[in-house]
Amino acid sequence: MGMPITVILADSYATQKDCDAVFAYFQAIDNQFSTYKKESEISLFNKGEIQRKDLSKDMKLVFRLANQTTKETNGYFNIVKHDGSIDPSGLVKGWAIYNACKLLAKKGFKNFSIDAGGDVQVAGKNEKGEEWRIGIRNPFNPKEIIKVVGLTTQGIATSGTYVRGQHIYDPHQNSHLKGGRLENVVSVTVIGKNVYEADRFATAVFAMQSNGIYFLEKQNGLEGYMIDKHGIATMTSGFNTYVI
What does the pLDDT read at residue 182? 57
User: Do residues 147 and 136 make contact, with C-beta atoms less than 8 angstroms apart?
Assistant: yes
Output the pLDDT for position 160. 83
CA-CA distance, 50 to 206, in Å (whole number)? 32
- Tell me what pLDDT residue 173 has: 62
Q: Is the pTM of this model over 0.95?
A: no
Domain count for the chain, please give it: 1
pLDDT at 178: 42
Averaged pLDDT, groups of 10, the chain, 244 residues long: 89 96 96 96 98 98 98 94 92 97 97 96 97 96 95 95 53 49 84 98 93 96 96 97 97
Rounded to whole angstroms, the Cα distance separating 35 from 1 reads 10
What is the model's pLDDT at position 242? Answer: 98
User: Can you give the residue range of the structural domain that contains 32?
Assistant: 5-242
**CATH number assigned to the domain comprising residue 168:** 3.10.520.10
* pLDDT for residue 201: 97
Q: What is the 3-state secondary structure (H, E, C) of the chain?
A: CCCCEEEEECCCCCCHHHHHHHHHHHHHHHHHHCCCCCCCHHHHHHCCCCCHHHCCHHHHHHHHHHHHHHHHCCCCCCCECCCCCECCHHHHHHHHHHHHHHHHHHCCCCCEEEEECCEEEEECCCCCCCCEEEEEEECCEEEEEEEEEEECCCEEEEEECCCCCCCCCCCCCCHHHCCCCCCCEEEEEEEECCHHHHHHHHHHHHHHHHHHHHHHHCCCCCEEEEEECCCCEEECCCHHHHEC
Query: What pLDDT does 176 receive?
Result: 45
What per-residue confidence (pLDDT) applies to 100? 98
